[in-house]
Amino acid sequence: MTDPDTLPITEGERPERDAARTIWLERFGDLDVLHLQDRPVPQPVDDEVLVRVRAASINPVDWKIAAGQYPPKPADQLPFALGRDLAGTIEAVGTRAHNMLSHGDRVFAFIGQDRGAQSDYVVVRATELVAMPGNMDFESAAAIPLAAMTAWQGLLVHGGLQAGQRVLIHGAAGGVGHLAVQIARWKGATVFATAGTDDLDYVRSIGADTVIDYKNERFEDVATELDLVFDTQGGETQARSFGCIRPGGCLVSTLEPDEQAAAEHGVRVPPRWHAEPNAAQLGEIAKLLEAGTLRVEVARSFPIEEFDAAYRFARDGHPRGKVVLTLD
């Protein structure tokens, strides 16, 4: 006998589309390997919900996955859809989600690696999604989850940032960096930040105490005796950062940390980590967005049909903030 709790249901209206337009990857390579394909609309079971995606953001991990440079997505998992964060409306719910959500609710989410968010319809687990802040539109909300969760988990979970500490945030005008500056400021830290010449005033405006023009200044001459460095750049930037950190301090990298250099400088580095979906943490971020304490910068949005231009702009254009795909 079939377990009734695992049967998919479609509470609410019939999906607006018979198929889901999806950014689809069948082989690794440059951006020309990405295609927009019609895929079957998935069905939710148990505590899952089907979300009609209104906007989904592009993150560096997306083009790294496409190039085969992201170890958690090996070739034996091909083909698959891309994208990790989205904003949209509840279209249908599984049998165990009735008491939590209903058709038409506006939600945003950071989803697991087993699904792709850049699609008209995505199945989202109840442990991944949160109600959208009432003061946000879909494009802004879609730009939040992965970047904000990376900043939150990097600074607060892995870095243990506390009020009164000194933190340096690299790439402070980028998608993760501009949210990291605001979270660190909210936490009560003294914030040093690196940015390009054109972004200095912007980074000051979102709460950095000291902004360093990485093209014309050496950050290690300005940011010293740090408790924490949040590294989004790797390479030479990471190598030079160790000398800025006090003994016993910490460097958290979104890339591969140099454990040998850390040991030589008496600095703690968490092992390689990846941001993980966490609805409780995303809920805290939603409260900060609702209060206006945190705000997201959308550099530009593109309709999903222009995904190739969107990906190239996100990868090569050095945008301030996030790039978003719209699916209405």
Q: Domain 4-144+296-326: give its CATH superfamily.
A: Medium-chain alcohol dehydrogenases, catalytic domain (3.90.180.10)
Tell me the pTM.
0.92
Q: What are the two backbone dihedrals, phi and then psi, of residue 44, each rounded to the nearest 5 degrees?
A: -85, 145
Position with higher pLDDT, 2 vs 189: 189
Task: Read off the pLDDT of residues 130-167 as tens digits, 9 standing for 90 and up.
Answer: 999 999 999 999 999 999 999 999 999 999 999 999 99
**Class of the CATH-defined domain 147-265:** alpha beta
With a CB cutoff of 8 Å and minimum separation 6, the contacts of 12 are 90, 91, 92, 93, 102, 103, 104
What per-residue confidence (pLDDT) applies to 47? 85
The segment(s) of the chain belonging to CATH 3.90.180.10 are 4-144+296-326
Q: What are the two backbone dihedrals, phi and then psi, of residue 215, each rounded to the nearest 5 degrees?
A: -80, -25
Strand order in the sheet with 19-25: 34-40, 19-25, 80-81
The segment(s) of the chain belonging to CATH 3.40.50.720 are 147-265
Question: Residue 158 is encoded by which pair of tokens?
Answer: 């892995």
What per-residue confidence (pLDDT) applies to 99? 57
pLDDT over threshold 90, residue 311: yes
Position with higher pLDDT, 290 vs 100: 290
CA–CA separation, 281 and 44 (whole Å):
24
Q: Provide long-range contacts, Cβ within 8 A and 24+ apart, for 192-195.
A: 192/166, 192/167, 192/168, 192/219, 192/222, 192/223, 192/226, 193/168, 193/169, 194/168, 194/169, 194/170, 194/219, 194/237, 195/171
> Residue 3: pLDDT band by 50, 70, 90 thresholds?
very low
What per-residue confidence (pLDDT) applies to 95? 74
Task: Read off the pLDDT of residues 47-95 as tens digits, 9 standing for 90 and up.
Answer: 899 999 999 999 999 999 999 998 888 888 899 999 999 999 999 988 7
> Residue 110: pLDDT band by 50, 70, 90 thresholds?
very high
